[in-house]
Structure 1
C-alpha cells in the first residue's frame, strides 16, 4: 500500500527541486521533514508541504501508521514552460523561459 501526493505546475525549475528531493529519498517521514526544515533552498517549503500532504493521505485514506512511513519515491518532471520576452539593446528581444515542475511524493510503510 502506498500514499501519493502530487503538485502540478509548480512555478520553480525542476533542477532546483531535484536537488531537494535527492536529500529526502528513502528516509523516514519525520527525518525528511526535519531535513527539509533545515535546508536553505527555495524548493524546501514546497516539498515539505507536499510530504505533509502525502502523510495525511496515508493516515486518513489508507489507515497507515504515521510512525512507519518512509519516502519510497519522489521525483520531478518538467511542466509547461512559460515563454516571456526581455527587451535588449538595439531593438532586439531575448526569450526568457520560466520553467514549471510536476512534483510527486510517494510514501510507503516500512516492513
Structure 2
C-alpha cells in the first residue's frame, strides 16, 4: 500500500495499522505477529448534500460521499 500513488492507499494503510494496534490491546489476541487480513469491505456512509447555484435561478445538488471501511483480522493458529 505504501508504494501505490493512489490517495485511497494512504487511507487504507492507516486503517490497517489502526486495526493491528487495536488487536495488540485486545486480550483475545495472543500473538500479534500471527495476524492476517481476513476481509476488507467498504460500505457507503453518510452523504453531505450541498447546493450549487446554476443558470436561470436553478440549483444543482452536490453529493459529497463518505464511506465506512471495515477490516477484519484473524489469527493463524499453529496446528499441534
TM band (smaller chain): 0.7 to 0.9
TM-score between the two structures when normalised by the length of structure 2: 0.81
By relative contact order (CA 8 Å, sep 6+), the higher-ranking structure is: 1
1:36-78 per-position Cα deviation (integer Å, ceiling 9, x unaligned): 1111222222211111111112122134323221110111111
**Runs of 4 or more consecutive aligned structure 1 residues displaced over 4 Å after TM superposition:** none
- Number of paired residues? 76
Is the contact made by 1:81 and 1:99 (CA closer than 8 Å) also made in structure 2?
Answer: yes
Structure showing greater Rg:
2
Unaligned runs of at least 5 residues, structure 2: none
- Structure 2 counterpart of 1:109: 75
Q: How many Å separate the matches in 1 of 2:60 and 2:19?
A: 40
Q: CA RMSD in A?
A: 1.4
Unaligned runs of at least 5 residues, structure 1: 1-35
Alignment of 1:47-62 (within 5 A): 47-62=12-27
1:40 matches 2:5: yes
